[in-house]
Every structure is written in structure tokens, then in C-alpha cells.
A = this chain, B = another copy of it.
Amino acid sequence: MAPAPRWLNNDELRAWRALRITMVGLLATLDRELQREHGLGLAEYDVLVILSEQPDDRLRMSELATVLSLSPSGMTRRIDGLVRSGLVAREQCPEDRRVSYAVLTPAGRRLLETAAPTHVRGVREHFIDRLSARQLGNLASVLSAVQIDPKAAAGGCDDAA
């Protein structure tokens, strides 16, 4: 293992720190706005969005967990809350009774539809509308370069592992 790798220069360090604190602030702001206006956290909102995009408003717990980068148990508990609030229901798969679906309820869809404008407005106001089309394009290319390789993300990372 190399004890002193190439250090970060000032610009690099500042870019990295700025990215971190900007994202933290942005997500916290969006979460606060959503919470205040609709009593819904960003995490719960994400679940509703994903479900609403599925053909039958439903997704298996395990797939939902994968999509949201959550552990299986974490997913169970997040759905627990949404079920308590009546926004999501559980349903068993008839073909394979091990799997259970999270299903968007009518109430869930209604709340999603009233909350979405708040979220979109926030994303625009604090993010999208502050950037030119050119900057947005640059950002997309940056992001495509930075995407973490799924192989590396899961298990052993470098050859020293």
C-alpha cells in the first residue's frame, strides 16, 4: 500500500468539499420543504415515485431495496411506516408466496400528486434553474464519468483487499 498517494491540490480539494456540502444542503432543504408542506420525508417520497412508475403500481420488496440502495430490513421498515400512513399496501405474490409486493394505494397516489409540484419546484429553484443548459450538459458528462462500477461497489475493491 502506498503511504503517500498523489495529494489533492487546492482546486480539487475545494471542488470535492463543495460537492459534498452542496449535496447535503440541497437534500436537507428539499426534505424540509416536503416535510413542512406535506408531512412526507424525501425518503418516503422516493418510494412513492418509484412505485408510481411501475406498470401496476407495485414492486417486490427486494427490487425496491436495490433501486433505493437500502438493506432488505431497512426497506421492510420504511414500507412499515408507509403502510401505517395508508400510502402503501403489502400484497403477496400468488405464484411465489415468498415475495411480497409494495403497492401504491389511491391515497398514496393522491399524496404523491399533490407533493410532486413542491418537490419539482424545489429541484428547479435550488438546482436546475440555477444552471445553464450548457452547465447541465457538462454535469451530465461529469456524472457519467463518475458512476461507480457496480462490481467494485459490492465486494472487495482494490487488489489489496
Report A's interface with B, CB cutoff 8 A: 1-8, 11-12, 14-16, 18-29, 32-33, 36, 69, 117, 120-121, 123-128, 130-131, 135-148, 152-153, 157-158, 161
Shortest CB-to-CB span from A133 to chain B, Å, is: 9
Contact call A29/B157, Cβ cutoff below 8 A: yes
Contacts of A146 in B (CB 8 A): 22, 26, 126-127, 130-131
- Smallest Cβ-Cβ distance to A122: which chain B residue: B157
- Of B3, B22, B28, B138, which one neighbours A147 at CB under 8 angstroms? B22
Contacts of A127 in B (CB 8 A): 16, 146
- Of B128, B137, B142, B148, which one neighbours A25 at CB under 8 angstroms? B148
- Of B36, B121, B144, B158, which one neighbours A5 at CB under 8 angstroms? B121
Contact call A23/B23, Cβ cutoff below 8 A: yes
| A contacts with B: majority SS | helix
Shortest CB-to-CB span from A82 to chain B, Å, is: 20
- Smallest Cβ-Cβ distance to A152: which chain B residue: B29
Contact call A131/B153, Cβ cutoff below 8 A: no
Tell me, in angstroms, the Cα distance from A127 to B148 when the chains sit together. 9
Contact call A126/B139, Cβ cutoff below 8 A: no
Contact call A131/B120, Cβ cutoff below 8 A: no
